[in-house]
Structure 1
Amino acid sequence: MKLTEKKTQLKGLTLSDLRDFFSSLGEPKFRGDQVFNWIYNHLADNFNEMKNLPATLRSKLNEICTLNSLELLTTQKSNQTNTQKFLFLTTDKNKIEAVLIPEKDRNTLCISTQVGCPLDCKFCATGLMGYKRNLSAAEIIDQYLFAAKNFGKENITNIVYMGMGEPLLNFNSTLNSISIFTNQLNKGISRNRITISTAGIPNKIKELADSGYRVKLAFSLHSAFDSIRNKIMPINKKYPLSENIEALKYYAKKTNTRITFEYTMLKKINDTEADIRQLTKLCRQLPSKINIIPFNSIEHMNPSGISAELKTTEIEKIYSFADKLRNNNITVMIRDTQGNDIAAACGQLAIKFK
């Protein structure tokens, strides 16, 4: 099917927007509810499937509207963990990736919010590919809908905004997609199973807190020292830790949720006794837990500079690091590497621009 954006895109519109759209056509508002239900509960991708709409309306929608924003190009499945990676093509010929991670008690879909990423984190393949544009709410939602058709809607239990891009730099589309995921008419994902990951945009963290959605928030920390974050996460020079911690405290209090600190272990960079002390000091300031992530290779992006020098901390030291934090009454999880054989593990998503 040839994709087009010349028609009005209905996928990605919130329920309120859909109701307003059908009112603008002279139709009753409940048509918006019906279409919302067809798209997100029945996974309809064409109007002819929507049999409770009048034939004349279905014909009109085919003329002036579209439900297509992405084309699924390929899927890859890890032989080691059954992790599945989806490669999508946008209507303007950009490529993005999403990852489905099956686990014992959950199946998590990791979705992207941007084509590339502007933040240039040195340990992340997406940062090395550069940035082209934000994704629309339709493109964010479509990653879920394709995965739901492929894997079964009822089998996707969690959504994490941890794929390509910084979600809070695409704030409106991210928020619209959350509105759709959490709407009561969409029998899908509850808000306590949605996590947004951010490298730290303080004003947007506070705005998200005030939005009322109360989704979980993961903060890409990777060091509790500004000097180290400045080297591996250039965004820290603009938004230092002190500003982000203030925003995270506000988020935790406003939403009554616990912050997850994501911490990629980098050999001889953030795995010392001083790091343990500073992390302990930080975690005692707000309700939080640490998610430790072994560094995954980004060699497939031919890195240079500091990115080419990064190595993961030895696994024995990672476990020792975690145990010492736990001895300080810090909640720590060690994330299993999933899908690194197909470049689908944390920090590996990337497309080389031609």
Structure 2
Amino acid sequence: MKIGYRTIKTAIGTPIAIWIAQLLGVTNFVSAGILTILCIQPSRKQSFLSAWNRFLACIIASVFSIAFFYFIGYHPIVVGLLLMVFIPVTVLLKITQGIATSTVIILNLYGAHYLDFDFLVDQFLLIVVGIGTGLVMNLYMPSLDRKLKEKQQELEKNFQFVLYEIALYVRNKNIDWDGKEITRIGEILEEANDLVERDKENHLLRSKHIYRDYFKMRTRQFELLQRMLPLVTRLPKKDTISEKIANFFESLSEAVHPGNTAIIYLEKLENLRKEFDEEDLPCSKEEFETRANLFRLLHDIEDYLIVKLKYKESDIVRKKKEMES
């Protein structure tokens, strides 16, 4: 069984909050631990937003409690009436995250059956200690770079496999492939994008995120790859065209990596186009449809490579610049 970072932070932060509240002589000091538990979040951004929403909600809840309990009285029905007014206010102010936290304060004030300045200060300290401890614990967030790198490597292996399977199909009409890598690519992209968003929220001052751009690029390439698959099945069974296409896909499968050598394959693709232009014109409807599918496929492959070309500076161009300098 794996213990996550949120669990560890909760286990550390809760006793710290209770201990600080005890040192300050706060009544209901256990509530500080409850507030800390409620404030542990998966990212720094969510932590700051959560802390602010909960703090504001607690202050509003305290004001409402004073008004309701002082003017109406201490009765369970009054608690219900208070919540009927308080909860819509939090929805209006978009601070619903603070409802659970604020309820702790409301019940503390209700349970005391009295209100004076010292007790209100006591509850304010409780709010600060509980929410503040949760906020401090959330300042540490583990790096997600290793997980993102693993997703990148797994994604590229699956891309390589799909491109190689396409080459096998075009060359030999191999139909043994079950296509599970296509499903897995979709899952990896979804998981990776979730990790990227979480990592972005942990680096509030970072304007760009290299993995975000990378997985965005792969997502677009995946869409094009899915569009190519039906076209591949419509290529001629066996001729010079299909062999050249198979060789191109096989070569492309060996070049799936984080770098950018797309310009090489765009040049190869241009040469393929020139060769196909020199082919005899189609003589039948079937040949015409085959040729049309072929040109659509070439167009999609070109788009696939251009997506990579736009992602980052070409490795080939960069090396030329380095040699020149």
* TM-score, length basis structure 1: 0.27
Q: Which has the higher contact order (CA 8 A, sep 6+)?
A: 2
* TM-score, length basis structure 2: 0.29
Structure having the larger proportion of residues in helix: 2
Structure having the larger proportion of residues in strand: 1
